[in-house]
């Protein structure tokens, strides 16, 4: 699409920047120049802004946070606000059509459910914070659906940006694992705002210090779940690009991401990756023999390396004595809270306080649960933790407890309609788009596995997957729609 700038535009921009220098000084003027440059780049190529959103929401989620870069807002919010604003102006001026997907009404209804939960929440400030965060996530979905959905080229570039961002995140994770200085104690107060570094776990395995890498996402589980959803995309890119050098880079990216999953020492992410691989093998998208060879080489490499903490993944003793028994009570508490308020829920971030209240009413709990509860109360009293940070490690319970029946129905509908978009793309797309639909379906199945073991409503990857599903649906069915609008054509 050719863009036409008004003849006086350069002069007007120059005059505005000169005025900013005179009024606000050189620092503000320099910021204005950067802002104008960013806006112009996004206007010319909206996928550039989307790439910034993906990068700042993954590898730079912590490195770009406000308390580290010293800006009033985080890099993620800056990229998001600039992209949304410029894309909106550009779409109006150029009359760019908006991506339609059945997901969009479900997305709006879920945001409505988040807002409605504020009516019953005892903490209105917390509710407004939650509403703001979910609106940002919904905008991320909307931007991916529209910008990546403009063309096949925009979709491919967006997918490259996502896998490149997570490869960078995996590199950051390797640095965290190998460099002693990039380590944080699990009870470090700096984790409140989020910090870069591997989380030191001294309690999971007796006599073993476990370093769980976070890759710039601040939390090892979220890091591994995001990687597990991104790895299948590399299969599509490998078939999409035939050049040998590009394919080597794609294989390197997939390898880095798989190593990141293992070094996060998250068992549920490994289970999710196994499910995605099994799905792609059954669908005939992954050849079995090369996969087995790669799996044996990778497993052999880790056995020879034997990094400290690897036992956490397969240890039966850890499964019996680690965090699993505590999570059983977190799950039971979530079930009890759903039964207490199945319709309205308790409001954003209200699982923890109500779980603590419920736990004190349980007549008999194991000694290790009592010790954990006392330690939690001590940390809350000292200001190192809050009850609101306790979560049920199950996404269904998290959403139902917080946002009630409407919340879980609309979130479930969003997931189901995302799968529907992908099936539509698989049905009507060309062979490459069908392959991408299969890869994203595998990612969605992997996320569902992870959602059984983690509270993932706030992780960006599920909202990214929803956006890519809508974008792929638009790209896949666009040729069919164009064909049926030709004179004399009929629907197949």
Q: In this prediction, what percent of the chain has a pLDDT beyond 90?
A: 56
Give the separation between CA 110 and CA 107, rounded to whole angstroms.
5
Which residues have C-beta within 8 Å of that of residue 380, sequence separation ≥ 6?
386, 387
- Of residues 313 and 110, more confidence is placed in 110
Q: Which helix (H) or strand (E) holds 210?
A: strand 208-212
pLDDT for residue 490 is more than 50: no
Give the separation between CA 334 and CA 154, rounded to whole angstroms.
42
Q: What pLDDT is attached to residue 18? A: 61
For the chain, what is the mean pLDDT?
86
Give the separation between CA 448 and CA 269, rounded to whole angstroms.
11
Average pLDDT over residues 58-86: 86
- Residue 492's pLDDT band, with cuts at 50, 70 and 90, is very low
Give the separation between CA 344 and CA 119, rounded to whole angstroms.
9
Angle between helices 152-178 and 460-484 (to 10 degrees): 160
Of the listed ranges 207-211, 382-386, 421-425, 483-487, the one predicted with least confidence: 483-487
- Residue 12's pLDDT band, with cuts at 50, 70 and 90, is low
CA atoms within 13 A on the CB side of 135: 11
Average pLDDT over residues 132-146: 96
Cβ 174 vs Cβ 68: under 8 Å: no
pLDDT for residue 3 is more than 80: no
pLDDT for residue 461 is more than 50: yes
Q: What is the pLDDT of residues 143-191, one digit of tens each?
A: 999 999 999 999 999 999 999 999 999 999 999 988 887 777 766 666 6
Lookup: tokens for 219: 């939390």
Lookup: tokens for 69: 């870069």
| H-type alpha helices, 306-430 | 311-314, 316-321, 324-340, 351-359, 367-382, 395-428
Block residue for tokens 């985080």: 74
Average pLDDT over residues 318-331: 72
pLDDT for residue 202 is more than 80: no
- Residue 193's pLDDT band, with cuts at 50, 70 and 90, is low
Lookup: tokens for 226: 């995001």
- Residue 491's pLDDT band, with cuts at 50, 70 and 90, is very low
Domain boundaries, the chain: 34-96
Average pLDDT over residues 125-141: 95
Q: How many CB atoms lie within 10 A of CB 118?
A: 17
Q: What is the pLDDT of residues 219-275, one digit of tens each?
A: 889 999 999 999 999 999 999 999 999 999 999 999 999 999 999 988 889 999 999
The three-class DSSP label of residue 9 is helix
Q: What pLDDT is attached to residue 323? A: 65
Lookup: tokens for 294: 């790669």
The three-class DSSP label of residue 267 is helix
- Residue 101's pLDDT band, with cuts at 50, 70 and 90, is very high
Block residue for tokens 């699993």: 324
Give the separation between CA 276 and CA 232, rounded to whole angstroms.
7
Which pTM value belongs to this model?
0.89
- Residue 478's pLDDT band, with cuts at 50, 70 and 90, is confident
pLDDT for residue 447 is more than 60: yes
Phi, psi of 210 (to 5 degrees): -100, 125
Q: What pLDDT is attached to residue 191? A: 65
Q: Give the CA angle between residues 330, 335, 337 to the nearest 5°.
A: 90
Phi, psi of 212 (to 5 degrees): -100, 115
pLDDT for residue 126 is more than 80: yes
Name the DSSP letter for residue 116.
Answer: H
Block residue for tokens 């931007």: 143
Block residue for tokens 């392959």: 435
Q: What pLDDT is attached to residue 488? A: 45
Q: Give the CA angle between residues 75, 461, 406 to the nearest 5°.
A: 110
Q: What pLDDT is attached to residue 344? A: 94
Cβ 281 vs Cβ 291: under 8 Å: yes
Q: Give the CA angle between residues 402, 406, 408 to the nearest 5°.
A: 60
Q: What is the pLDDT of residues 358-416, one digit of tens each?
A: 988 888 888 878 888 888 888 888 877 888 888 998 999 999 999 999 999 999 999 99
Q: Which helix (H) or strand (E) holds 198?
A: strand 198-205
Phi, psi of 135 (to 5 degrees): -65, -40
Average pLDDT over residues 459-486: 85
Q: What is the pLDDT of residues 284-313, one digit of tens each?
A: 998 887 788 888 888 778 777 767 667 666
């Amino acid at each position: 699409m050719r863009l036409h700038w008004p003849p006086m535009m350069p002069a007007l921009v120059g005059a505005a920047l000169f005025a900013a220098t005179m009024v606000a000084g050189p620092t503000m003027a320099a910021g204005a120049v950067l802002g104008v440059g960013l806006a112009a780049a996004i206007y010319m190529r909206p996928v550039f802004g989307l790439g910034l959103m993906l990068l700042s929401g993954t590898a730079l989620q912590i490195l770009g946070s406000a308390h580290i870069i010293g800006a009033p807002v985080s890099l993620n919010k800056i990229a998001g606000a600039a992209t949304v604003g410029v894309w909106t102006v550009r779409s109006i001026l150029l009359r760019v059509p908006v991506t339609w997907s059945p997901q969009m009404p479900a997305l709006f209804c879920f945001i409505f459910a988040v807002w409605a939960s504020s009516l019953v929440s005892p903490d209105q400030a917390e509710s407004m914070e939650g509403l703001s965060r979910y609106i940002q996530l919904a905008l991320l979905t909307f931007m991916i659906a529209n910008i990546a959905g403009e063309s096949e080229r925009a979709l491919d570039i967006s997918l490259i940006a996502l896998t490149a961002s997570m490869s960078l995140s995996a590199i950051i994770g390797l640095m965290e694992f190998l460099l002693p200085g990039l380590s944080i104690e699990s009870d470090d107060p700096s984790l409140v705002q989020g910090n870069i570094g591997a989380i030191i776990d001294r309690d999971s395995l007796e006599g073993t210090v476990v370093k769980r890498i976070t890759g710039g996402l601040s939390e090892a589980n979220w890091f591994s779940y995001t990687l597990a959803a991104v790895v299948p995309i590399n299969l599509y890119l490998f078939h999409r690009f035939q050049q040998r050098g590009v394919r080597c880079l794609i294989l390197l990216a997939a390898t880095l991401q798989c190593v990141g999953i293992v070094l996060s020492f998250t068992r549920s992410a490994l289970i999710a990756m196994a499910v995605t691989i099994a799905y792609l093998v059954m669908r005939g998208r992954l050849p079995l023999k090369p996969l087995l060879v790669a799996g044996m080489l990778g497993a052999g490499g880790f056995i020879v390396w034997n990094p400290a903490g690897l036992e956490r993944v397969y240890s039966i003793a850890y499964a019996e004595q680690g965090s699993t028994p505590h999570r059983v009570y977190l799950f039971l508490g979530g079930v009890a809270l759903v039964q207490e308020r199945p319709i309205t829920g308790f409001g954003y971030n209200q699982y923890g306080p109500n779980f603590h209240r419920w736990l004190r009413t349980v007549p008999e709990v194991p000694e290790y649960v009592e010790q954990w509860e006392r330690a939690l109360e001590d940390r809350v009293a000292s200001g190192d933790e809050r009850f609101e940070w306790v979560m049920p490690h199950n996404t269904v319970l998290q959403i139902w407890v917080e946002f009630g029946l409407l919340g879980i129905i609309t979130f479930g509908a969003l997931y189901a309609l995302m799968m529907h978009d992908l099936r539509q793309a698989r049905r009507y797309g060309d062979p490459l788009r069908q392959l991408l639909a299969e890869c994203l379906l595998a990612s969605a199945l992997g996320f569902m596995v992870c959602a059984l073991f983690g509270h993932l409503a706030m992780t960006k990857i599920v909202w990214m997957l929803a956006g890519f599903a809508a974008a792929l649906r638009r790209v896949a069915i666009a040729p069919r729609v164009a064909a049926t609008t030709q004179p004399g054509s009929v629907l197949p």
